[in-house]
Amino acid sequence: MDRPATFRLDATDFGHPAGILAAAERAERRGMDRLVVAETAYDPFLQLARAADRTTSIELATGIAVAFARTPMTLAYQAWGLHAASGGRAVIGLGSQVKPHIEKRFGMPWDRPAARMREYVHAVRAIWHSWQTGERLRFRGEFYTHTVMTPVFSPDPVPAGVPRILLAGVGPLMTRTAGAVADGFLSHPFSSTAYLAEQVLPGLTEERSRAEAEGAVWTQRPFEVVGNVLTATGRTEEELAANRAATRERLAFYASTPAYRPVLAQHGWEGLQEELHAHSVRGRWAEMAALVDDEVFDTFAVSGPVEEVAREIRRRYAGLVTRLSVSQPESADPELGLDVLAAVRALD
């Protein structure tokens, strides 16, 4: 996979209904290539559909939508609706979420997530193919079966073609699944460049090469690798300090999660994960940020004035990824993130 030094730039937003229209207009006005909305407190498809009516050219992406909270058919309809409403600008970023959320928040099944995700992506593609071509839907798998599609329930084809599917992952199985079946890979904000280079990209590249050799249809489009960079910046010392503190809290939350232990293990910090997890189980959230020292912070986040942050991001990620997004605290001024990305582009 070719990863040039010139990046495509993705603006990110939390998808709050009160701010999504302004966020979309701002990102397009500032020349961003894509607006990415995560699935946290609000449905990203609904908010991106609203954004489609206020923009004309910027791509509109979920980053991520929780795949296993939906059946492939449910996801296919939501994605197709966004794609049609935006004139073919939808990009579908998918992630698995973790087992407790899938089973206890969404009430959906969780088992063998990498194998399930591989089949899930194939199922969504089969549904879209049926809608786009009019061919009979015949998908039978281990986890999902979709064999009924009548004309009244088939959306119209989209002239731009089917959406791209990007897959998020942290561990080796899901990472390799992304290379095998997706159009691109979404790195988690809690990823160091060493982890990306040594644990993620080799398996990703191997699986993508295998899919290309087998002539998989989706490999006709270039593969994307998206770097999602935890960033703390500010125009004043006070603003920078506040954003650093919020980012440190976020790092502590990520590092407490057992699923992200391999990322810390890359740097020999397994003990930190165990200590933070013990605090989280006891609900001692306020004490956790203090356990993230500056070495850990600087490994997983980039901090400083805007221009300094832009130079460091470019230094770290050139040659590793094809696209960049910056992940700021929710309380941060969204213009700061766009300022960083614009400064990265100015370095090209």
Amino acid in position 133: T
User: What average pLDDT does this structure show over 315-324?
Assistant: 96
Q: Tell me, what's the pLDDT at 259?
A: 87
Q: Is 145 left (phi over 0), alpha (psi -120 to 50) or beta?
A: beta
pTM value? 0.95
- For residues 183 and 166, the answer to whether their CB atoms sit within 8 Å is yes
**Residue 321 and residue 205 in contact, taking contact as beta carbons nearer than 8 Å:** no
pLDDT at 285 over 90: no
Residue 63 pLDDT: 95
Mean pLDDT value across residues 311-327: 97
What pLDDT, in 10s, does the model give residues 195-239?
999 999 999 999 999 999 999 999 999 999 999 999 999 999 999
Q: Where are the beta strands (DSSP E) in the chain?
A: 8-13, 34-37, 59-66, 90-95, 139-140, 145-146, 164-169, 184-187, 224-232, 301-303, 323-327
**pLDDT (tens digit per residue) in 124-158:** 999 999 999 999 999 999 999 999 999 999 999 99
pLDDT digits (tens, 9 = 90+) for 66-112: 999 999 999 999 999 999 999 999 999 999 998 999 999 999 999 99
- pLDDT(2) > 60: no
Neighbours of 202 (CB within 10 A): 14
